[in-house]
Structure 1
């Protein structure tokens, strides 16, 4: 993926206090976009690749200090930190005072002792996503921006998928968001969330194995179930062609139906950044 920057002529530096700023932090890239909530239109997008010789924290610190559009004040700032350290808790069982315990049950607490834990309710799933991010990122971002809301990729991924699902379907819908070395997968049936998981993978065969394992464990029909792919994937990728050999219905997810996009966004592959784009749906 190449570095990208697009900005619409309607972007007005004098009224940014009415705009929403969304930032995504991932090991392979730093991205942000700006939404005008009055017109419900995205008017700015920026993405910078991160090389193996750069640190995510270093790039984040530099961008916040030097990018002119990050020096402006915004009405709200949404920060999405891509992390596998997350779990879902049904609302009926959730206790805010025990959120660290939920994560410690799933992950080694000693390994992540310098992380800070957040919780966010996924309204459409009637559950809470518990996740952690390195404390130094939280300290940096909270010191630079006011009114900051933190997310991880699971939250907009699940929320938007459920919003896009009709209530009367009996089909199983499989949503997969692909990143460089991991992917999130969720299963929805009858507008209910049946499964969410994150898998690491090193090659296309591992990706296929984990996907078909989910189909086997949930006894999903490979002829009637639908897979919707998003993230770092396209119809020319081996991942797509391999899935098509085993699953009848495989599609690249549609761009977000919930927002408008300035004409300059035709240069941006929105499917690659769908979680970033959909963050405002979660507030």
Structure 2
């Protein structure tokens, strides 16, 4: 928990739930007082389905039983694909999605239209999970976890006259966002198990895009538990490496650190 929340006022708060195979988490945010931020994690049983884990999560978590002004659901998964906004049509969502990803049973395809980025992110969610969540919460919005990050980083990447690679590190994966002066060049997610894996994907993408070792920038966020070894290796090849400061990003009035809040949730709150 980051800051105490008065649950008698829950109907003025925003609830953001993050679903990932790494575990579930949620934040409760008071838009009228940005020092009020409640955050909690929930372990999942990897032997059970996503829907079964979500059902238990909803039943066992008291904070989710209140009414909220808005509920955001973030799906952290590699099953997403970007589509330029100018060619996007609603009726083609599934065909566009399955051109890039293998079909799976019992899932629905959703979309996020990103106005700042001129992009649409198509993503999927298990049908039963979707039903549990829509039945449980009113005013529910679904997001791919990469969507708010793209919107936030698009704006940040326009600062300066160089290219930028943003990396969000997770316990078993890494999300990469590459920009050239505000224009998204590449977005992808990769499975990783070691620091060596992380360095491999970062440096391979850096080289593939022809980024300059002296002038272009690498920004890191997320799970930085191996920060010293990671930075030590990356600094052999890239001069400008920065750690994203979540406290500064949220402009929060509280002195309580918020590093434990996933960057995709932070991005969504900033972009609201």
State if a TM-score over 0.5 links the two structures: yes
Name the Cα RMSD after superposition: 2.1
- 2:214 equivalent among 209, 223, 228: 223
**How much does 1:209 deviate?**
2.0
- 1:278 equivalent among 264, 267, 272: 267
Conserved 8 A contact 2:250-2:266:
no
Conserved 8 A contact 2:42-2:57:
no
**Residue number in structure 2 paired with 1:182:** 173
Is 1:195–2:217 an aligned residue pair? Answer: no
Is 1:45–2:39 an aligned residue pair? Answer: yes
- 1:152 equivalent among 140, 144, 151: 144
**How much does 1:32 deviate?**
0.5
Matched position secondary structure for 1:160: helix
**How much does 1:143 deviate?**
0.9
What is the TM-score with the length of structure 2 in the denominator? 0.91
**How much does 1:164 deviate?**
2.4
Is 1:133–2:94 an aligned residue pair? Answer: no
1:203 to 1:43, Cα distance in 2 relative to 1, 3 A: closer
Is 1:113–2:105 an aligned residue pair? Answer: yes
Question: Which runs of no fewer than 5 residues in structure 1 stay unpaired?
Answer: none
Find the aligned partners of 2:231 and 2:147 in 1 and give their Cα distance: 24
Conserved 8 A contact 2:249-2:270:
no
**Alpha-carbon displacement from aligned partner over 1:212-266 (angstroms, at most 9, x marks no partner):** 2212221111121111111112464533322122211222212152442544x42
Question: Which runs of no fewer than 5 residues in structure 2 stay unpaired?
Answer: none
**Alpha-carbon displacement from aligned partner over 1:28-54 (angstroms, at most 9, x marks no partner):** 211101111122344211112335456
Structure 1 runs (4+) greater than 6 angstroms displaced: none
**How much does 1:163 deviate?**
2.7
Conserved 8 A contact 2:3-2:36:
no
The alignment covers a number of residue pairs equal to 271
Find the aligned partners of 1:240 and 1:36 in 2 and give their Cα distance: 35
What is the TM-score with the length of structure 1 in the denominator? 0.88
**How much does 1:55 deviate?**
5.2
- 1:35 equivalent among 26, 29, 32: 29
